[in-house]
């Protein structure tokens, strides 16, 4: 799940804007509406939009004044801004465009056209950002080669200012460093401290470091040395837990054979609730209300109990890792025999139930036959069918156990 782009709409006519809000939400954007132009700046500080749409003719605050207020803040100076207006005169539109807005949309408008324009703006921003990265104003790579701690320490030595853009498992995040010091961290809607603590644990995925002279505000007031020290400790603990688990992008499901609800703790129940039919491990960690290390410990514990297992969907997505993942599960001292036994017993149980129903059906059918005694009902040379169907996962598990 990629982080949604946030759009702030400032307009006094809620009914007129409702269709646009609905269409933008359907297109995958997070939209917030506000009618008071004077308070929209405060809302922007809290909401941190990626794009702002504002009516020009606001009674509480002129749209042009709101635009100038927004652009005086360094963190919003590059945010795209669109004006909406019922103004028909060409010179009014030119005035709006001259102050630096990214687009001017006249009312009435087609909502589909507005959505298309917004998507074009975001596409251009991404292309320009990629061009800056490849033009020598920064560098990029993979987090398994340099994690966030390494990146910040590098910037700290050179006392550089940069925006570190992180991506892992379809999640995006940013860390702001000025003169080698950590100023801010943004991931989902988490507070800066919580976001940074979680990002320190990203050892997979990619990064882009973009050098900048931007004067962004400071939300993290702890010394960088202390933050890095905490990050190193969390990394060590994270790696210790993770080494007994499959990759974090592995899709897992509840093992209904072994699962006993009355034998798990409340914290474990919170994690279980996050798994509908199946879920990636990292998605479970990200959505958990508990600390991420605590959540990973619980996932590991559920694995140890045999309550979680890798889903068949994971095997379909990553067939090359099947045997390796299965071997890893089988080497666990707590569940080496349990997993195979549980699968076999469950298969036999399912087939036994089915066989009983089949036998009863056959008996009823035979009783309806007039010449039923002509059949060799008690011949021992007639082969008896007792089919057991194994899926690919179960076959591999049994094979590994027997070998």
Q: How many domains does the chain have?
A: 4
pTM attached to this predicted model? 0.47
Give 13-66 pLDDT, tens digit per residue: 888 888 999 999 998 899 988 877 667 777 777 778 889 999 888 877 678 888
> What is the per-residue pLDDT for 173?
92
Tell me which residue of 95, 108, 102 sits closest to 120, measured CA to CA: 102
Mean pLDDT of 110-120: 88
> What is the per-residue pLDDT for 3?
65
Give 324-374 pLDDT, tens digit per residue: 554 455 454 444 444 444 444 444 444 444 555 565 666 666 555 554 444
Asked whether residue 305 is domain-assigned, the answer is: yes
The answer to whether residues 188 and 295 belong to one domain is no
Give 126-163 pLDDT, tens digit per residue: 776 655 544 446 778 888 878 899 899 888 888 889 99
The answer to whether residues 286 and 379 belong to one domain is no
Asked whether residue 79 is domain-assigned, the answer is: yes
The domain that holds 73 is classified in CATH as 3.40.50.2300
The answer to whether residues 11 and 47 belong to one domain is yes
Domain housing 185: 136-233
Predicted confidence (pLDDT) at residue 174 exceeds the cutoff of 90: yes
> What is the per-residue pLDDT for 35?
79
The answer to whether residues 105 and 18 belong to one domain is yes
Predicted confidence (pLDDT) at residue 311 exceeds the cutoff of 80: no
Mean pLDDT of 245-251: 81
> What is the per-residue pLDDT for 323?
47
Predicted confidence (pLDDT) at residue 270 exceeds the cutoff of 70: yes
Mean pLDDT of 252-264: 76
């Amino acid at each position: 799940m990629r982080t949604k782009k946030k759009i702030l709409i400032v307009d006094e006519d809620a009914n007129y804007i409702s269709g646009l809000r609905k269409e933008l939400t359907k297109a995958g954007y997070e939209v917030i509406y506000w009618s008071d132009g004077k308070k929209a700046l405060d809302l922007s500080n809290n909401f941190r939009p990626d794009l702002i749409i504002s009516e020009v003719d606001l009674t509480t605050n002129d749209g042009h004044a709101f635009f100038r207020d927004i652009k005086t803040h360094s963190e919003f100076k590059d945010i795209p801004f669109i004006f909406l207006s019922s103004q028909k005169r060409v010179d009014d539109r030119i005035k709006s465009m001259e102050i630096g807005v990214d687009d001017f949309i006249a009312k009435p408008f087609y909502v589909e056209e507005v959505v298309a324009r917004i998507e074009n703006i975001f596409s251009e921003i991404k292309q320009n950002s990629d061009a800056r990265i490849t033009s020598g104003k920064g560098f990029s790579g993979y987090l398994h080669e340099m994690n966030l701690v390494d990146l910040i320490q590098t910037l700290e030595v050179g006392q550089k200012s940069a925006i570190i853009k992180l991506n892992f498992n379809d999640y995006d995040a940013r860390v702001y460093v000025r003169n080698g010091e950590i100023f801010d961290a943004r991931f989902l809607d988490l507070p800066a401290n919580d976001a940074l603590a979680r990002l320190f644990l990203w050892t997979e995925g990619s990064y882009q470091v973009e050098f900048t002279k931007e004067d962004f505000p400071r939300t993290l007031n702890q010394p960088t040395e202390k933050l890095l020290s905490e990050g190193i400790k969390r990394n060590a603990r994270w790696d210790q837990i993770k080494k007994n688990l499959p990759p974090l992008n592995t899709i897992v499901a509840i093992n209904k054979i072994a699962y006993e609800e009355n034998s798990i703790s409340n914290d474990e129940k919170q994690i279980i609730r996050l798994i509908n039919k199946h879920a990636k491990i990292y998605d479970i960690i990200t959505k958990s209300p508990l600390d991420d290390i605590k959540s990973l410990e619980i996932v590991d514990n559920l694995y140890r109990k045999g309550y979680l297992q890798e889903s068949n969907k994971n095997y379909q997505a990553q067939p090359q890792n099947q045997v390796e993942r299965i071997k890893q599960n089988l080497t666990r001292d707590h569940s080496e025999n349990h997993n195979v036994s549980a699968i076999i017993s469950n298969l036999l149980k399912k087939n036994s139930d089915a066989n009983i129903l089949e036998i009863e059906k056959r008996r009823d059918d035979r009783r309806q036959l007039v010449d039923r005694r002509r059949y060799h009902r008690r011949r021992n040379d007639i082969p008896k069918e007792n089919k057991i169907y194994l899926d690919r996962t179960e076959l591999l598990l049994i094979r590994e156990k027997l070998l």
